[in-house]
Structure 1
Amino acid sequence: MTDELADKVAIVTGGASGLGAGLVRRFAAEGAKVVFCDVDTDTGTALESELGGDTVFVAADVSDVDEVGRVVSTAVQRFGGLHVMVNNAGVSGTMHRRLFDDDLADFHKVMSVNVLAVMAGTRDAARHMAEHGGGSIVNLTSIGGIQAGGGVLTYRASKAAVIQFTKCAAIELAHHEVRVNAIAPGNIRTAIVRKSATGEDLEKLEQFEAKIRQRMRDDRPLKREGTVDDVAEAALYFATDRSRYVTGTVLPVDGGTVAGKVLVRKPGSDGATR
């Protein structure tokens, strides 16, 4: 590690596990003072104990905008500032075979965590950053917000909203030297696919997840499996001065999935077919 975030204060929402925990670990390893929040108190407390030092866990539900503000205030009060805000917390919608079968019961939950919390986190962090020389805000979206598809329609809509909001916020906050960018992970092995299964799918969960993962591999030009570390590396780039002239961008970390369909070559042929 190179201590690229030495003397920086960072927040990671949804940081107790999955992508969030990877971000917390990487930022801490790079010398940052990190405040992270989650609704999973046990896992968050365990990660805080593991990392120690200047890594602080705050139990918070980011679907409540007041809780988001409390996390930002905690970072400023504890460490005297805020330089990097990563709005990572997210939930999946329930997988449905058809739109006709979707009762939209999870709409408000998905939107409150995936969109409202991102907007509140960006706003509250930017208020501080604008008065203290600027900073970097990184919002986690998904390739599901870029590519259309069926299944988890509310989730896809929420992630598309994050992309549009990120670009709008980048324009508005640029004159405050606050940069706002988004990362769109794809085909990263976390629990989010499993959590999208409905009750009846749980009986065949392993087969369900294997099918989804195989489809992801088939659609991915790079055959290496993506990792949490790949996403953390992208977040580190946006968090540092290496991206000081970059704002309003959406960076897919997806092995090339959104670039287009994989071309399949017929055996014995020099040509390529879809």
Structure 2
Amino acid sequence: MGNELAGKVAVITGGASGLGSAMVERFVAEGARVVIGDIDGDAGSALADRCGPGALFRTTDVGDPEQIGHLVDLAVQEFGGLHIICNNAGISGTMHKSILHDDFADFHRVMSVNVLGVMAGTRLAAKHMAENGGGSIINLSSVGGVQAGGGVMTYRASKAAVIHFTKSAAIELAQHDVRVNCIAPGNIPTDLLAKASTTMSPEKAERMTRAMREMMNRDRPLPREGTPEDVAEAAVYFAGDRSRYLTGTVLAVDGGTTAGKPVMRRSSAEANGSAAAKS
């Protein structure tokens, strides 16, 4: 790690835990000053304290655009500007047995956080950036927005909307030297699955989460599981000057999941046997 983001100011929503906290820590380590927004006040304040004077926290519900505006204002007032925003905050919605059992009771909340929050964050940050030399906007989608599949239909629809909005905003904001890119994580261990299972018993939720993780591992070409730090690395790339000619890009950080099914993997015993035969 170095000073890739030295002198830059960033806002990261949903920054108190999971992918967001990994981004916050990495951005600060790279020299950025960061304003963290999240609904979890305790976790957000604790993270800002750990990061030191380079981070500030403000309790924020991104479903309310006015609260996102307060984050942008805080960055400008306290750190002197805004060069980067990571619209990371998102929720999964409730897991149902199938779409036939989904009452869409959480539709408006999921869409307000996952779609309106991203759209408002993009607009509010871009208004400042367009008048101050440009900047980088990074929106978080998911492989669920790239690949079709069963389950959490509203979540999938919201993440697909983020991708299309990102590309559209990139076209419109390019004239202001504001870059808009998207990260689509997949198979990254966070508590999102657990939060989708709140209507189940703890035992059933644990079994479901374990089964889904196993399925994800089987569908991923790379043999190792991804980490929040892998996503943070992608965010640093989009935030910094190395990506100055990239906009409207969707980067899948998913171990190859969206590229296609993995080939049959050899067992460790088979691999060792093959190596011994060659020696």
Q: Shorter-chain-normalised TM-score: which range?
A: over 0.9
- Note the residue ranges of structure 2 that are not aligned, 5 or more in a row: 271-279
Give yes or no for contact 2:10–2:33 (8 Å, CA) kept in 1: yes
Residue 111 of structure 1 is matched in structure 2 by: 111
Where structure 1 has 5 or more consecutive residues not aligned to the other structure, the ranges are: 269-274
8 Å CA contact 2:194, 2:209 repeated in 1? yes
Shift in Å, 1:266: 9.8
Residues matched between the structures, number = 268
Q: Which amino acid in 2 is paired with 1:197?
A: S
Aligned to 2:275: none
In structure 1, the residue matched to 2:30 is 30
Letter in 1 for 2:8: K
Tell me if structure 2 keeps the 8 A contact 1:2–1:30: yes
CA drift at 1:176: 0.2
Cα distance in 2 for partners of 1:76, 1:82 equals 6
Q: State the one-letter code of the partner of 1:133.
A: G
Q: Matched residues in 2 for 1:101 and 1:201: separation?
A: 18
SS in structure 2 of the partner of residue 183 of structure 1: strand
Deviates more, 1:8-17 or 1:191-200: 191-200
Contact 2:65 2:117 in 1 (8 A): yes
Q: Deviations over 1:218-252 (max 9, x none)?
A: 00000101001100000000000000000000000
Q: Distance in 2 between matches of 1:168 and 1:259?
A: 23
Q: Deviation per CA, 1:189-241, whole angstroms, max 9, x where unpaired?
A: 00001111142343322211110000000000001010011000000000000
CA distance in 2, matches of 1:122, 1:7: 21
Alpha-carbon RMSD across the aligned residues, in angstroms, is: 1.4
- Are the equivalent residues in 1 in contact too, given 2:94–2:199 (CA < 8 A)? no
Q: For residue 272 of structure 1, what is the aligned residue in structure 2?
A: none
SS of aligned partner of 1:126: helix
- Structure 2 SS opposite 1:113: helix
For residue 265 of structure 1, report the CA deviation from its aligned partner: 7.2
Amino acid at match of 2:211: K
> Cα distance 1:74–1:263, how it changes in 2: closer, same or farther (>3 A)?
same
- Relative distance call for 1:266 and 1:254 in structure 2 (3 A) is closer
**Pairing of 1:9-88 with structure 2 (within 5 A):** 9-88=9-88
User: Which residue in the other structure is 1:8 paired with?
Assistant: 8
Share of identical aligned residues, percent? 63
TM-score normalized by the length of structure 2: 0.94
Residues 1:100 and 1:32: Cα distance change in structure 2 (over 3 Å)? same
Query: Tell me, what secondary structure is at the counterpart of 1:194?
Result: helix
Deviation at 1:58, TM superposition (A): 0.6
1:74-223 to 2 correspondence within 5 Å?
Answer: 74-223=74-223
Distance in structure 2 (CA, Å) of the matches to 1:184 and 1:265: 25
TM score, norm. by length of structure 1: 0.95
Find the counterpart in structure 2 of residue 236 from structure 1. 236
Letter in 1 for 2:144: G
SS at structure 2 position matched to 1:263: coil
Moved over 6 A (4+): 265-268
Quote the residue 2:248 is aligned against.
248
Corresponding letter in the other structure for 1:67? Q
User: Are 1:201 and 1:208, in contact at CA under 8 Å, matched by a contact in 2?
Assistant: no
Partner amino acid for 1:80? G
Structure 1 residues 47 and 266, CA gap change in structure 2 (3 angstroms): closer
CA 1:212–1:126: 2 relative to 1, 3 Å: same
CA distance in 2, matches of 1:250, 1:201: 36
